[in-house]
Amino acid sequence: MMNFSYARAESVGEAIAAVSGDPHARYIAGGTNLVDLMKYDVERPGRLVDITRLPLREIAATAGGGIRIGALVPNSDLAYDARVERDYPLLASAILAGASAQLRNAATTGGNLLQRTRCYYFYDVGAPCNKRAPGSGCGAIGGVNRIHAILGASESCIATHPSDMCVALAALEAVVHVAGPGGERTIAFEDFHRLPGDRPEADNTLRHGELITAVELPAPRFGPHHTYLKLRDRLSYAFALVSVAAGLELEGDTIRDARVALGGVAHKPWRVPEAETLLRGQKPSREAFGAAAERLLQGARGQGDNDFKIELARRAVVRALEQAAAATPQRQSDKSIN
């Protein structure tokens, strides 16, 4: 871990000015990811700008019937917020499927979006990694890649985005509000994270110095027909091998619309609108769900250790859609899968 300077920002403007003026500066929120990476010498910021005192802690109703979540709302507060529990139980569930209670207390909404991959090679400065050290090669290709991507990977990187919350946000079609030296802008969730391509060092489309101020959700849609199903190597406190966030709009027993996002399979939460279209007008059935799963996983490719994820993801999608259709969402408390 290297020396760094530390300053606490008192206003959004001050924070942005401090970071955008210094290429080696980083925002720090909960610190649950950034500090770990600094300990491993993966991140070596020269300056930390602490944003935890900024007034971005509110969950407010929007005119469109949705909510706007301040970037500093802790993951726990968000998951246990009464309105979120009622209107966006999918989001609450995904958050509670991740990390541990202590980490969720410290982790923030903005930080969760920006957490970095859990690729072993990325974390190990003794190993090659294009994301950490562009041009050094991808250690995971041909190496230990049990937790790596089966979709959207490139020759230079096969990492996955590890967040659970973001998978739900993708299915909920959130919008990210950011502020930067050039003013404010919004980014649709699907455009926020990116695929690795030949620039795996960039996880997302944020520019240096831009600050996430809020995440906005449109009006709730799925009622009780949602689920967040997370499959992992132990029952709790492990990142997803595969996860599925699913929401169905049902009219009688017909699916009017569907949203399905996969986690643990790509460099970003994975959505395929055509797969959702396939479900429209269908009656819930294993066949219909299987067809949607096939479409979601079209082009999936294993890397050796992770070949199993293709079949696991297919089955997980079917199960998750069954859970959503039956309005029996996956419980996160007792870890048994329904």
Ligand X SMILES: Cc1cc2nc3c(=O)[nH]c(=O)nc-3n(C[C@H](O)[C@H](O)[C@H](O)COP(=O)(O)OP(=O)(O)OC[C@H]3O[C@@H](n4cnc5c(N)ncnc54)[C@H](O)[C@@H]3O)c2cc1C
Q: Which of ligand SF4, ligand X, another protein, none does residue 60 bind to, with CB < 5 to 8 Å depending on kind?
A: none
3-state secondary structure of 227: strand
Location of structure tokens 């209670």 = 101
With both helix axes pointing from N to C terminus, report the angle between 308-325 and 286-296 in degrees, rounded to the nearest 10: 140
Q: Which of ligand X, ligand SF4, another protein, none does residue 200 bind to, with CB < 5 to 8 Å depending on kind?
A: ligand SF4
* 88, 192, 222, 239: which one binds ligand X (CB under 6 A): 239
Using the minimum distance from each CB to another protein, give the nearer residue, 72 or 141. Answer: 141
Location of structure tokens 């991507």 = 149
239 binds ligand SF4 (CB under 6 A): no
Using the minimum distance from each CB to another protein, give the nearer residue, 12 or 144. Answer: 144
3-state secondary structure of 254: strand
| Binding to another protein, residues 78-137 (CB under 8 A) | 118, 120-121, 123-127
Distance of CA 166 to the CA centre of its chain: 3
Contact 47, 6 (CB under 8 A): yes
DSSP state of 284: P
119 binds ligand SF4 (CB under 6 A): yes
| Binding to ligand X, residues 108-147 (CB under 6 A) | 108, 110-112, 114-115
**Contact stretch for another protein (CB under 8 A) within 22-30, 202-210, 265-273, 314-322:** 314-322
Q: How far is the CB of 119 from ligand SF4 (least distance, A)?
A: 3
DSSP state of 302: -
3 binds another protein (CB under 8 A): yes
Q: Which amino acid is at 173?
A: E
Contact 98, 111 (CB under 8 A): no
* 139, 209, 220, 263: which one binds another protein (CB under 8 A): 139
Residue 139 in tokens:
């250690």
Contact 255, 280 (CB under 8 A): yes
Contact 87, 121 (CB under 8 A): no
47 binds another protein (CB under 8 A): no
What is the x/- site pattern for ligand X, positions 186-225, by CB under 6 A? -------------------------xx-------------
> CA 123 to CA 103: how far, in whole Å?
19
**Contact stretch for ligand X (CB under 6 A) within 27-35, 138-146, 297-305, 322-330:** 27-35
> CA 309 to CA 312: how far, in whole Å?
5
Of 328, 321, 193, nearest to 257 (Cα)? 321
Cβ-based neighbours of 156, under 8 Å, separated by 6 or more? 130, 138, 196, 197, 198, 200
What is the x/- site pattern for ligand X, positions 259-298, by CB under 6 A? ----------------------------------------
User: Which residues contact ligand X (rule: CB under 6 A)?
Assistant: 26-34, 36, 51, 71, 75, 98-99, 103, 106-108, 110-112, 114-115, 162-165, 211-212, 239
User: Which residues contact another protein (rule: CB under 8 A)?
Assistant: 1-3, 39-41, 44, 118, 120-121, 123-127, 139, 142-144, 146-147, 231, 233-239, 241, 308-309, 311-312, 315-316, 319, 334-338
